Structure 1
Amino acid sequence: MALPPLVEPGPDLTPDRVARYARTTQLPGFGTDAQRRVRAARVLVVGAGGLGSAVLPLLASSGFGTIGIVDDDRVEPSNLPRQNIHTPADVGRPKVESAADTVRALGDEVEVRIFAERLSADNAERILSGFDLVLDGSDNFPTRYLVDDAATLAGIPVVWGAVHQTGGQVGLSWSAQGPTYRDLFPVPPAPGTVASCAEAGALPSECGVVGALMVGEAVKLVTGTGTPLLGRVVLHDALSGGFRELAYERDPEGPPVTGLIDYDLFCGITDTISPAELDARLRAGEAYTLLDVREPWEADIVELPGSLLVPLGVVQRDPAGVAERLPGDPLVIVCHHGIRAETARVLLAEAGLPGLVLAGGLDAWSRDVDPSLPRY
């Protein structure tokens, strides 16, 4: 069913803006009032990666008046095929800065607010404050649950998208009007059971498909036109070219969201050591066995000096054998973001060898300890 418009119309359009958006305002049921609502809307985009790169230009060119961008990452060469809001000249720059330049070039009246920081339980309330809705293009489960809970507490909707290899999903979460992300996914998947983009890959064009659907949802919410994806998820398969829908309802037994929590712990990412703490201990002369459970091609791009490469598949086949062959120093397990490392930690602990996971993986190490290392 249709929902009331999310925002009130902004000021009257100037003649040049009437001409600019003429192809939109002539749409049935749209008109200049709808465009004025878009102009008044304040939308926060979480992530300036693959989905953010598809979402942000469309928001700017559609006429959204205020666009926030939150991301703590920098542009890497491996980002460019699917993150076309950035160019080769932007490699090494903070993604929020590169993204903001593109947004301002497309929308000369857009107010851009950038947050060059990782969204967390500590800063989410501050960052979401003042926005009407959130478009979540994050690529990890702790952030997805954090965004959903923070938006629930703020009383605003979240349009979320996800891309995996050659497929994608889009949904709407809004506790004030219907079911939320937690109703669809009450608990996160076990660590290591869903491959990251770096592990599984992502078709660049799929980011465009999912991102366009996300912006379409934002326009419908802001203007009160069409039927939003409340209680429905759209799934797209690029290989077949087909779409399908999954319907779901509010969970009557779902616990209410009353505050923000430790989302790494909620998603099963435990027993960690931060890059800064590990670096300090290594510099102090403490001995550690650094076990890298990524694939050989990833180690060819970047590796932690002194680490031993044993891919996760080898650990999964014979955890006891791997445990027996490792040195006796305290164990720290490393991967790209920490997800595969947690899977290996559990297996090795069950085999009698406890260890810690490098929180955030090599990606966090290169960000927090050694920025000279390449990120991918």
Structure 2
Amino acid sequence: MNQRFDYGEAFQRTLGWITPEEQARLRRARVAIAGMGGVGGAHLLTLTRLGIGAFCLSDFDVFELHNMNRQAGARMDTLGRPKLEVMAEAGLNINPELELRRYPEGVDATNVDAFLDGVDVYVDGLDFFAFEARRTLFNACRERGIPAVTAAPLGMGSAVLTFIPDGMAFDDYFQFREGLSTDELSLRFMMGLAPAMLQMGYLADPAQVDLAAQKGPSTPMACELCAGMAGTEVLKLILGRGRVVAAPRGLHFDAYRGRLAHTWRPGGNRNPLQRLLLAVARRRLAAAARSG
């Protein structure tokens, strides 16, 4: 069947939850997503189906077999193909009118200005361990007055943090600075994202978590939940309605446990409770290294 695309008809079923005027605003909006893997690819598909009309997308990786358990674009016919290319095609197959700017080299200090030009909201889809790129992007968003959303796939749930221009800064919340080791950055990022740690109670095999090898377990449910929760924050930010939960407050929903935690860490990782949790995590990491 060769049917002509019509934006109004394609996205009419969203009306009721939003008004026609709000749908038109989403159509005019531009969202930047760095990373087209597990969460980034799901973000793109969800926001495209919401009716967002323009994106800035980046990724320099290709699909591999080990991506199959969670990444929207990972299929046998896409193995070895660039993630950015595959996901751009998927977005355009939903809405052929999408306006896309593509950055196949990734994002760093040399092109972050172009990547964020005209962007309404940034959504983080970077690999967990991409700390330098993540800091560059979140700090650049703050300088430009762009809200930034990160959703972490944890176990069978999602932890969401939103950074708004007049709120707490990304580096201040996580206490990131130059010179920290990858292990320390990983601990600070994990504990800052999910202070409630809802997922840890059902981790079946802790040996599968290896920060030194930059490896950890994942599920497809977590990635889809990330897209739903982050997509809702994007809608609220663009339409200017609904309460946005901004750092140092966050949300963590775990479907396995059926629990929702509203987290609040004044001072971020400087908070006394966070400092205690980080100290415990460091001891456990050191003990695991000794036993390994």
CA distance in 1, matches of 2:154, 2:132: 17
The Cα offsets for residues 223-256 of structure 1, whole Å up to 9 and x where unpaired, read as: 11211122321112243121111124578x9xxx
Aligned twin of 1:37: 25
CA distance in 2, matches of 1:61, 1:43: 13
Count of residues in correspondence between the two structures: 243
SS of corresponding position for 1:217: helix
Aligned twin of 1:245: 262
* Structure 2 counterparts to residues 98-247 of structure 1, below 5 A: 98-138=86-126, 139-140=128-129, 141-175=131-165, 177-187=166-176, 190-193=181-184, 194=186, 195=210, 199-231=215-247, 232-247=249-264
The Cα offsets for residues 6-33 of structure 1, whole Å up to 9 and x where unpaired, read as: xxxxxxxxx9544433332212xx3111
The Cα offsets for residues 293-319 of structure 1, whole Å up to 9 and x where unpaired, read as: xxxxxxxxxxxxxxxxxxx99994399
The Cα offsets for residues 118-144 of structure 1, whole Å up to 9 and x where unpaired, read as: 221222122212222210111222222
Residues 191 and 109 (structure 1), Cα distance of their counterparts in 2 relative to 1, 3 Å cut? same
SS of corresponding position for 1:68: strand
Aligned twin of 2:191: none
SS of corresponding position for 1:192: helix
Amino acid of the residue matched to residue 132 of structure 2? Answer: P
* Preserved contact between residue 69 and residue 114 of structure 1 (Cα < 8 Å): yes
* Structure 2 counterparts to residues 235-314 of structure 1, below 5 A: 235-248=252-265
CA distance in 2, matches of 1:149, 1:104: 30
* Preserved contact between residue 164 and residue 200 of structure 1 (Cα < 8 Å): no
Residue identity (%): 28
Residues 81 and 156 (structure 1), Cα distance of their counterparts in 2 relative to 1, 3 Å cut? same
CA distance in 2, matches of 1:246, 1:180: 17
CA distance in 2, matches of 1:55, 1:75: 17
Aligned twin of 1:283: none
SS of corresponding position for 1:170: strand
**How far is the alpha carbon of 1:164 from its aligned partner?**
3.5
For normalisation by structure 2, the TM-score amounts to 0.75
Larger displacement relative to structure 2 (62-71 or 186-195): 186-195
The Cα offsets for residues 103-132 of structure 1, whole Å up to 9 and x where unpaired, read as: 000112211221101221222122212222
Larger displacement relative to structure 2 (143-152 or 35-44): 143-152
Matched, 1:53 2:31: no
Aligned twin of 2:79: 91
* Preserved contact between residue 180 and residue 250 of structure 1 (Cα < 8 Å): no
CA distance in 2, matches of 1:118, 1:17: 30
The Cα offsets for residues 155-206 of structure 1, whole Å up to 9 and x where unpaired, read as: 211111122444431111122x322323321226742254559622111210
SS of corresponding position for 1:183: helix
Residues 94 and 19 (structure 1), Cα distance of their counterparts in 2 relative to 1, 3 Å cut? closer
* Structure 1: segments with no counterpart, 5+ residues: 1-14, 254-311, 320-376
CA distance in 1, matches of 2:66, 2:246: 34
Which runs of 4 or more aligned residues in structure 1 lie more than 4 Å from their structure 2 counterparts after TM superposition?
195-198, 248-251, 312-315
| Higher Rg of the two aligned structures | 1
CA distance in 2, matches of 1:228, 1:315: 38
Residues 236 and 143 (structure 1), Cα distance of their counterparts in 2 relative to 1, 3 Å cut? farther
CA distance in 1, matches of 2:121, 2:241: 16
* Preserved contact between residue 56 and residue 116 of structure 2 (Cα < 8 Å): no
Amino acid of the residue matched to residue 21 of structure 1? Answer: F
Amino acid of the residue matched to residue 243 of structure 2? Answer: T
With a CA cutoff of 8 Å and minimum separation of 6, indicate the structure with the bigger relative contact order.
Answer: 2
* Preserved contact between residue 57 and residue 85 of structure 1 (Cα < 8 Å): no
CA distance in 2, matches of 1:84, 1:16: 25
